[in-house]
Structure 1
Amino acid sequence: MSVPMAYLGVIVIWSTTPLAIQWSSDGPGFLFGVASRMALSAVLALSAVTLLGSEMPLHRLARRAYLAAGLGIYGAMLLTYWAAQYIPSGWVSVLFGLTPIMTGVLAACWLGVSVLTPIRLVGLLLGLAGLAVMFVRSLQIDSASVFGMLGVTAATLVHAASAVWIKRVGADVPALAMVAGGLSIAAPLFLLTWVLVDGRLPAVVPVHAAGAILYLAVIGSLIGFALYYHLLRHLDATRVALMTLVTPVLALLLGHYLNGEVIAVEVWIGTGLIMAGLALFEWVDRVDPAGSRGSRYDAPDAAVTIVEAAARTACGKQ
């Protein structure tokens, strides 16, 4: 697939994933929603590797990369699904916008690279200020919203740590193989968690919840992960990070128009501060190439985000 099409695809997937996460948990519960999504995604990913004859390395570095990806998926998605019960879906995408900043800080500590220039420190402070504004807004709603904010923030940190771990491993693994390997680690962990904590099949799964689970499994996980890892191999971190400035706004608007979520002034202020901080943090090399020479970490892999989350993300998603 062409890089521009993959780029557009990831933006659409990241923007819709937070809302789909909420819908997938509506009825069957968040554990069933995430476990069924990841189990189906793992089966599809492994089937795709077999049918397409794709290489799936199993050498030591590859196995370590799969472990890093799998544990990152498990920890971040478990936290995201749990937290999404308590906050508007658009907030998930906004908070995951902090991932590149967290990744840069962790890369400085873990990889020993000097990325925290003065301008980037300003970006970090702006991001933290935006996070504080969002927390103030959550306090105005109820205590559950605070727990939701804490959960997604922790999920973002797990994503960032997983990304830096993958970069540290340095395995040259094809995109589809990375998806299949990571999901092969994460899916059994999700199923085990569901069995131990709940273990009951839902009597009825609403149509919108079933559709959201299928969408997340096929589009959000398999296709979304593959497209994102494809971009990581062909674009620098700056261009990949541009998506994190676009998707939070789209996710907020989708949550407002499709899910009736209220977007308070504080949310827009917090979002603006986080996006401004992210812009400073990610585009410092373009603003002052000489001043940041040698500070930039050559790490598109270190910007790994699933929204997921994205959900993304991230997805987160998340």
Structure 2
Amino acid sequence: MNSIEQTHHRRRQWEAALIFITALWGWSFVAIHDALNGMSDSAFNACRFLVAAVAMLLVAAARRRRISKIDLVQGGMAGMALYLAFLFQTKGLKFTSASNAAFITGLAVIFTPLLLFFWRHVKPERRQVVGIFLATIGLALLTLKGLSVRWGDLLVLMCAASFALHIILLSRASKMADAFNIALIQISVVGLLSLAQSVVLGEWAIPPAGAAVNAILVIGVLGTALGFYVQTKAQVASSPNRIALIIVLEPVFGGLFGYFLAGDRLTLQNWIGAALIVAGMLITEIRLTRDRSEPSTHP
């Protein structure tokens, strides 16, 4: 296996791992919905990310990992963008419908190439544009039930922009610093800022035993600690546009887990939307598989 084949093999491995993590994030919709019945969103985010940070700190201590200045700067920047994304999303949900929030959050797949174009002058390729277009239509069919302009919609729109910024910052950071350290730092930043937010707003509370604690442990360790580490590693081997298309599968998995675990029922429109999202990914994959001789378009 030559170096080019090894590169593509590594890319496929990390993208497959990220798809698994995205499925876990889809399942977390059901778990978080139950957990939030007993605690505030800011307190849940604080517990979730701090549990993840502690888990990663234990691993770092066992391996005697050292954190460099570059790790701190790059991880801190990515953590700020990630915190803003969760802040705008949870606050926006108070003023808009869940379907609106799901669709608008998914617009991160549109913001990613747009931010890359205006910020770093990276022009999206034709197949990427087609894939993003199909994925966006699919996301609308999967989650949208009438769109109305609300203050919450604008907040969630800022959430989508923050997620796109996080993808881009993480893509650059993962090529400059240690992937594990970046994941640890950004998770710690979100946890500490969420804790400060919950304390300042008087929303902090010890999570009640049961669904909340179980969700915090599973989502904190697997969905957050492992999840953002895998995402960081995937960004080394893949492009921000492909990462955005993979992450947009989250509502597909959320719908499936909702169907089997929460009794939700998908309509024909929902299934068509899910199929269009997968089609968007396949179109991007066909281009990358056929044109392996082309230079990388990674920013």
Question: TM-score, length-normalised on structure 2?
Answer: 0.76
Q: 2:63 aligns with which of 22, 36, 52?
A: 52
Whole-Å separation in 2 of the counterparts to 1:231 and 1:129: 25
Contact 1:98 1:127 in 2 (8 A): no
Q: Which residue identity does 1:195 align to in structure 2?
A: V
In the alignment, structure 1 residue 189 sits paired with structure 2 residue 193 = yes
**1:298 corresponding residue in structure 2:** 298
Paired-residue identity, %: 23
**1:42 corresponding residue in structure 2:** 53
Tell which deviates more after alignment, 207-216 or 95-104.
95-104
Q: 1:224 aligns with which of 213, 222, 227?
A: 227
Q: 1:136 to 1:96 in 2, by over 3 A?
A: closer
Q: 1:9 to 1:200 in 2, by over 3 A?
A: closer
Tell which deviates more after alignment, 241-250 or 20-29.
241-250
Q: 1:108 aligns with which of 117, 122, 131?
A: 117
Aligned pairs (5 A) from 1:144-183: 153-168=157-172, 172-183=176-187
Q: 1:136 to 1:7 in 2, by over 3 A?
A: closer
**1:303 corresponding residue in structure 2:** none
**Structure 1 unaligned regions, length at least 5:** 300-318
Q: 1:255 to 1:95 in 2, by over 3 A?
A: farther
Whole-Å separation in 2 of the counterparts to 1:171 and 1:287: 23
Whole-Å separation in 1 of the counterparts to 2:39 and 2:167: 31
Q: CA deviation at 1:11?
A: 4.5
Whole-Å separation in 2 of the counterparts to 1:239 and 1:135: 21
Whole-Å separation in 2 of the counterparts to 1:100 and 1:177: 26
**Structure 2 unaligned regions, length at least 5:** 1-9
Query: Could you give the per-residue CA deviations for residues 19-56 of structure 1, whole angstroms, max 9, x where no partner exists?
Result: 23323312112122112112222233233222221232
Q: Which residue identity does 2:77 align to in structure 1?
A: A
Q: 1:200 to 1:228 in 2, by over 3 A?
A: closer
**1:65 corresponding residue in structure 2:** 74
Aligned pairs (5 A) from 1:191-210: 191-201=195-205, 205-210=208-213
Q: Which residue identity does 1:162 align to in structure 2?
A: H
Q: 1:80 to 1:267 in 2, by over 3 A?
A: farther
How many correspondences in the alignment? 284
**1:289 corresponding residue in structure 2:** 291
Q: CA deviation at 1:253?
A: 1.0
Contact 1:87 1:148 in 2 (8 A): no
Q: 2:134 aligns with which of 116, 122, 126?
A: 126
Whole-Å separation in 2 of the counterparts to 1:239 and 1:127: 12
The root-mean-square deviation of aligned C-alpha atoms, in Å, is: 3.8
Contact 2:135 2:245 in 1 (8 A): no
Q: 1:165 to 1:286 in 2, by over 3 A?
A: closer
**1:78 corresponding residue in structure 2:** 87
Whole-Å separation in 2 of the counterparts to 1:154 and 1:264: 29
Contact 1:55 1:174 in 2 (8 A): no
Contact 2:142 2:270 in 1 (8 A): yes
Whole-Å separation in 2 of the counterparts to 1:6 and 1:287: 19
Higher helix share: 2
Q: 1:247 to 1:171 in 2, by over 3 A?
A: closer
Q: 2:42 aligns with which of 6, 28, 31?
A: 31
Q: 1:130 to 1:246 in 2, by over 3 A?
A: closer
Whole-Å separation in 2 of the counterparts to 1:10 and 1:133: 23
Q: CA deviation at 1:150?
A: 6.0
Contact 1:9 1:227 in 2 (8 A): no
Q: CA deviation at 1:12?
A: 4.2
Question: TM-score, length-normalised on structure 1?
Answer: 0.72
Contact 2:48 2:219 in 1 (8 A): yes
